Structure 1
């Protein structure tokens, strides 16, 4: 009887083997296909664990959407395999010598991408690349931004290694991301393959770049035109966590703000006193509430162009006095807004809308983790906005000049 049971058990086991082997074979085939596929298309989520990214860049990551149209991950893998490593290395050196470089590039990147997309138009030292006038005699729309020397230095090294391959638009996008990481910000994947525009978009920049004195409706309208919702907008403005802002953009808040005859009522009085002292530079701002204070002109681009041969973009850093807005990608920018201590009127206006105010409170409620996550997603979205690819643009030899002038 026992022998019969053992024989029956052996027969049942034998009958199961083909099924088990079949399932195992299917599993191994699927696994092999997955491995081969990953070698051809490495997943962005695994990037932080890869030796491709130095340890100093292995920070917070976000999942990536499908590749942007015309862009791809590691676009220069074959044509210039060391390009991204070279950019990281250069950024690390720049940062070790000057901690303000990431903030400079971040604002440069924003001004480049916000008009028509990330096409390196802001880097051009010309207002009209298609005319016959000498480029050197033109007044560029970017004289008051910083970081051009950093991009040009990186580009020069890339030109030696891979002439005419890596676009200035990609250099700016990658260098900005790596700079954000170096200053404590989040990691986000950057797709590459952008081409550079043939011309700058100076006239559009005059009307479409957000002004320091815009109200919340104007701010949201400008961002929504480019596909950014309230959450994107509030997180992107969190870039003001780092860097310096010229006193020329806040001095008008101390006196006849927007023609009211009074200081800006959205600013905390003790904060206004602090800023008056910090921005004191011999232009009459010597005491709080001085009735004879002559207000500085509203720093819109139009008025600056009319009265100044050097037109200014949003965040000038080459004027007389500048105030630090911070040096860390945490929630201090948002906590300041809750206390009516936003440096710019446009910053403080985030508290004037129920949706944006709610987001401010959310970002202010932790150590910056929620903000960094949303900021990374918004930067990924902005870096893919309106890019030129294929035959729609060019690869400049020098970022300050169109290819035809090089």
Structure 2
């Protein structure tokens, strides 16, 4: 029996993500898209770190047990160790949390109790990527917010910049991502910055010989007091830090990457050809990044009674995790 292609595509989706759709709020909150877009524009115009900050928050949330806004939950007497308190998340941008709260507050004024925080995160991230020059991609909506947030789940799921390439690939393949998708998603490092402590082992006490000497010298000056001031940072892409482009790939091929994982991407035989392709062809990178982000955005989503629509993004509705 022959099945229509669209039906086969539907069957290939996880059941929960198949429930999502592009027009989820068309009847219940028709101003949803405009409110998100307007708030994103105002915030990014005022604080350029918002886009990379939210992009990282979105990824960390989705990779850790799904795109369910569990990363937004603040610690409380009822939940002392939520995801945002896990060590890898301690350096998440305050502006990323702030923009989600602002959007949620504005939405509650016009359609209270309707829009989930997880949908706000997904939509705002897409709009910010597009605003800073990146590709547009579709965001299906209808996620519910998690009723659980546990810091212990972060290290189990999240790849880190100090892992070997085998370990990084293993983390991504566990989430059903290909090596090509992994390399494309790493292109998010074309905007934003990294805290000095994340790459300090490459510049102190000795300089990593795989790093471009001029970059290393500059970083040693910028980060010299990083043990005292842990907020010290360096741009991931010195040439166009606020523009989403393919400069990241060009840079790491020249030894201009900050992190060990950047270097490994540029030399590992499984990833270098893809890095070289993206460095030469920005459109190829954009196409693959957009597809990979659509895939990230439906990871482990909760729908129906598996989640809730929070009244406040930083706490569960009953303030007690299930």
Q: Is the 1:242–1:328 Cα contact (8 Å) retained in structure 2? A: yes
Greater RCO, 1 or 2 (C-alpha within 8 Å, sep 6+):
2
Match of residue 272 from structure 2 = 357
Match of 2:102 among 148, 153, 167: 153
How far residue 404 of structure 1 moved from its aligned partner, in angstroms, is 0.6
Q: Is the 1:329–1:372 Cα contact (8 Å) retained in structure 2? A: no
Match of 2:297 among 360, 363, 383: 383
Q: Distance in 2 between matches of 1:113 and 1:209?
A: 10
Match of residue 85 from structure 2 = 140
Q: Distance in 1 between matches of 2:138 and 2:272?
A: 29
Query: Quick check: 1:320 aligned with 2:231?
Result: yes
Q: Distance in 1 between matches of 2:276 and 2:106?
A: 44
Match of 1:337 among 225, 249, 252: 252
How far residue 386 of structure 1 moved from its aligned partner, in angstroms, is 1.1
Query: Quick check: 1:207 aligned with 2:121?
Result: no
Matched length: 298
Q: Distance in 2 between matches of 1:267 and 1:196?
A: 42
Q: Is the 2:196–2:226 Cα contact (8 Å) retained in structure 1? A: no
Pick closer, same or farther for the CA change 1:264–1:207 going to 2, 3 Å: farther
What SS does structure 1 have at the residue aligned with 2:318? helix
How far residue 136 of structure 1 moved from its aligned partner, in angstroms, is 7.5
How far residue 66 of structure 1 moved from its aligned partner, in angstroms, is 7.9
How far residue 388 of structure 1 moved from its aligned partner, in angstroms, is 0.6
Q: Distance in 1 between matches of 2:18 and 2:81?
A: 37
How far residue 83 of structure 1 moved from its aligned partner, in angstroms, is 0.9
Q: Distance in 2 between matches of 1:235 and 1:397?
A: 35
How far residue 346 of structure 1 moved from its aligned partner, in angstroms, is 1.1
Query: Quick check: 1:183 aligned with 2:132?
Result: yes
With the length of structure 2 as denominator, give the TM-score of the two structures: 0.87
* Runs of 5+ consecutive residues of structure 1 not aligned to the other structure: 1-64, 257-261, 285-317
Larger mean CA deviation between 262-271 and 98-107 belongs to 262-271
How far residue 224 of structure 1 moved from its aligned partner, in angstroms, is 0.5
What SS does structure 2 have at the residue aligned with 1:341? coil
How far residue 324 of structure 1 moved from its aligned partner, in angstroms, is 1.2
Q: Is the 2:81–2:151 Cα contact (8 Å) retained in structure 1? A: no
Query: Quick check: 1:87 aligned with 2:31?
Result: no
Q: Is the 1:396–1:403 Cα contact (8 Å) retained in structure 2? A: yes
Pairing 1:122-271 to 2, within 5 Å after superposition: 122-126=71-75, 133-134=77-78, 140-141=85-86, 142-146=89-93, 147-255=96-204, 263-271=207-215
Please give the root-mean-square deviation of Cα atoms over the aligned residues, in Å.
Answer: 2.2
How far residue 155 of structure 1 moved from its aligned partner, in angstroms, is 0.4
How far residue 105 of structure 1 moved from its aligned partner, in angstroms, is 0.6
How far residue 247 of structure 1 moved from its aligned partner, in angstroms, is 0.7
How far residue 137 of structure 1 moved from its aligned partner, in angstroms, is 9.2
* Runs of 5+ consecutive residues of structure 2 not aligned to the other structure: 1-11
Match of residue 47 from structure 2 = 98
Q: Distance in 2 between matches of 1:354 and 1:282?
A: 34
Deviations 1:61-81 (Å, cap 9, x if unpaired)? xxxx98941201110111111
Match of residue 59 from structure 1 = none
Match of 1:275 among 210, 219, 224: 219
Deviations 1:353-401 (Å, cap 9, x if unpaired)? 21210000000013x2211111111101100111111111111000100
What SS does structure 1 have at the residue aligned with 2:193? strand
Q: Distance in 2 between matches of 1:404 and 1:193?
A: 21
How far residue 283 of structure 1 moved from its aligned partner, in angstroms, is 5.5
How far residue 282 of structure 1 moved from its aligned partner, in angstroms, is 7.2
Pick closer, same or farther for the CA change 1:82–1:66 going to 2, 3 Å: farther
How far residue 163 of structure 1 moved from its aligned partner, in angstroms, is 1.1
How far residue 255 of structure 1 moved from its aligned partner, in angstroms, is 3.3
Q: Distance in 1 between matches of 2:58 and 2:81?
A: 25
Q: Distance in 2 between matches of 1:156 and 1:121?
A: 18
How far residue 352 of structure 1 moved from its aligned partner, in angstroms, is 3.2
Match of 1:112 among 61, 68, 74: 61
